[in-house]
Amino acid sequence: MKNLLSNRIQNVPESFIRSILKVSTQPDVISFAGGLPSADLFPIEGLENACHKVLQTNGKKALQYSSSEGDSDLRAWISQRYQEKQGLNISPSNILITNGSQQALDLLGKVLLNEGDPIAIENPGYLGAIQSFSLYQPIMHTVAIDENGLDTKQLADVLEEHKPKLLYTVPNFQNPTGISYSQENREAVAQIVSQHDILLVQDDPYGELRFSGEQKSNFYELLPEQTLLLGSFSKVVVPSFRLGWIVAPDWLMKPLVIAKQAADLHTNYFSQQVISQYLQDNALDDHIEKITHFYGKQKQAMMDAISEHFPGDVKVAEPEGGMFLWITLPKGVSAMKLFDKAVQEKVAFVPGKPFYVGDEVQENTMRLSYVTVDEAKISEGIKRLAYCMKD
C-alpha cells in the first residue's frame, strides 16, 4: 500500500532527533540530546491561575471557534513587546498566531514554494526547518556559518547564482551551533540581501534567553521590507501550548491566513487566552531572568566539565545564550560512531551530520543541550562521553 503515498512525503527524512529521543527517554540514560526547555522552570502556578480566570470570566468565548489570525489581545501584546524590547514598529495586523513557529515554516512553504524552487539555508541548520521545507521539494542551497555568522562571500555567490526565494536564518543562539551572528555580520548580510528579490526569514525562538553579551540588531531593523520574523512562547513560557507567530507584510498576510484556514482554521484559542491572561498578570521579564540565570549556570557547568574531562583537541563553541553547545571533534573522528558507543554507556547527544544539507558535512561535530539535566548529571554525562572518546 506504500504506492499510495505522495512523492513529497516519501522524500522527507524522518527527524533524527525524534528517533534519538526514544533512546534518551530511558530513565537510566543521561540525555544531552533534546532541545527541551527545563520543565522545572514552567510557571505552573501562574498558568493555573490564568486558566481559572479565563474560564470564570470569559469561558464561553474562550471555548468557542475564533479568528484565523489569532487573539487580538495576544497579537497586541507581541506588537508592544517588539517595540519595548527591540524598538520595532510592528502592527498587530501583521502578526499571525501559529501552532508554534514550526507551523509558520510550513505555511511559508505552502504559500511561497513550488517544486524545484531555490532556497538558501544555514549549514549546519535547524532540522525542523530542513524537514518542513523538504515537503515542498525545493532545491536547498547552503551557506556555511562560523562563530561570526553566515559566510558572506558564499552568501553573495549563492544569491547571485541561484536567485533563491528565501533565506532561512537563526541569528540568535543558533540551533544547532549556539552561535550568534555578530553585528558586523548582520549588517553585511542585510546589505547583500538588499540587492536581491528575496525574503529573509529570522527564526528567533531563543533570542530572549541571553545570559551574557549584548543584544544585536534584528534583521527587521536592518531590512524591514524583506524580513519575516518567527517567534514562539515555547522556550520562554511552555512548549505544550504550541503557540508561536509570524510577522509578515500586508501582501503576504492574506495568503498565509488562507493557508492556515485550510490547515486548522485557527490556533488553539483557549491556549491563546490562557497565555494572554498569564502575560497580563505576570512579569514575563522576571520569569525569563529566572530561566537565563539557570541556563547560564548549566552552560558553565558543562563547559567546566568539558574542560576537565574532554581531550584537549576537542573544540567547543561557547554561546552567549540559548540551549546548546556545539562540539568539534578531531578530524577523522565520526560523531555517529561515538553516538553508538555513548548509548552503550547510557549517555545521549545529537551527532552533527543530520544538521547538514548536501555534501558539505562535518561528521566530527555534535550538539549537546545543557538545559534539561542538573549539574551532577552534566558532570557524570560528560565523564561518560570523555571515556567513550578516549576509548
Contact 385, 342 (CB under 8 A): yes
Domain boundary among 235, 255, 281: 281
The Cα–Cα gap between 174 and 246 comes to 18
One domain, residues 277 and 290: no
Q: Are residues 215 and 176 in the same domain?
A: yes
Please tell me whether residues 240 and 316 are part of one structural domain: no
- Cα distance between residue 190 and residue 181, in whole Å: 12
Distance CA 35, CA 51 (A): 27
The model carries a pTM of 0.95
Cα separation, 17 vs 15, in Å, equals 5
Q: Does 332 reside within a domain?
A: yes
- In a domain, residue 60? The reply is no
φ/ψ (deg, to 5) at 87: 70, 25
Cα 368 versus chain centre, distance: 15
Structural domain boundaries, residue 79: 65-281
Q: How confident is the model at residue 359, as a pLDDT?
A: 78
Q: What's the structural domain count of the chain?
A: 2
Order of strands, sheet of 95-99, starting from the edge strand that comes earlier in the sequence: 95-99, 243-247, 227-232, 199-203, 166-169, 118-123, 139-146, 149-150
Looking at the structure, do residues 159 and 258 belong to the same domain, yes or no?
A: yes
Q: Do residue 297 and residue 275 come from a single domain?
A: no
- Sign of torsion, CA 219 220 221 224? positive
Q: Do both 198 and 273 map to the same domain?
A: yes
Mean pLDDT by 10 residues, the chain (391 residues): 79 69 75 91 98 96 96 98 97 98 97 97 95 95 96 98 98 97 98 98 97 95 98 97 98 98 97 98 97 97 96 93 96 91 93 89 93 94 94 74
- What pLDDT does residue 1 have? 76
Look up residue 233 and give its three cell numbers.
512562547
